[in-house]
Amino acid sequence: MLKAYKAETVVLIGGFTDICILYTAVDAHQRDFYLNVVTDVVMGSSLQAHDDALEMIRYLQRDSLVTSDDTMQWLASLEDVAVAVAE
């Protein structure tokens, strides 16, 4: 579905960094998507599990760990591009 819409990046937020976020990140990486894991809005089943999962994700894609501020700026830049193209 994401490829049909020409998506290139998957933004991951939510609970259980060491389960849902990690496995979704691996699947997305294997399907050649860029990853943005918004680190200040995810949590793990424990601090150690959370930190380990983020480290594994960083290993997959070096620049994949971002903050919510980074994400909002990125989304705003996409909106600016869409407006410019429409004009």
Residue 27 is part of a domain; what is its CATH number? Answer: 3.40.50.850
The sign one gets for the Cα dihedral 80, 84, 86, 87 is positive
pLDDT in tens, 34-51: 999 999 999 999 999 999
Residue 3 located in a structural domain: no
Q: Is the CB of residue 33 less than 8 Å from the CB of residue 9?
A: yes
| pTM attached to this predicted model | 0.84
What is the domain extent for residue 61?
A: 9-86
| Helix residue ranges per DSSP H, 1-87 | 22-30, 47-60, 68-86
Q: How many CA atoms within 13 Å lie on the side-chain side of 64?
A: 28
Question: According to the model, what pLDDT value does residue 81 have?
Answer: 66
Residue 37 located in a structural domain: yes
- Residue 63 tokens, joined: 């620049």
Residue 2 located in a structural domain: no
**Residue-level pLDDT, tens digit, the chain, 87 residues:** 999 999 999 999 998 999 999 999 999 999 999 999 999 999 999 999 999 999 999 999 999 999 999 999 998 998 776 666 666
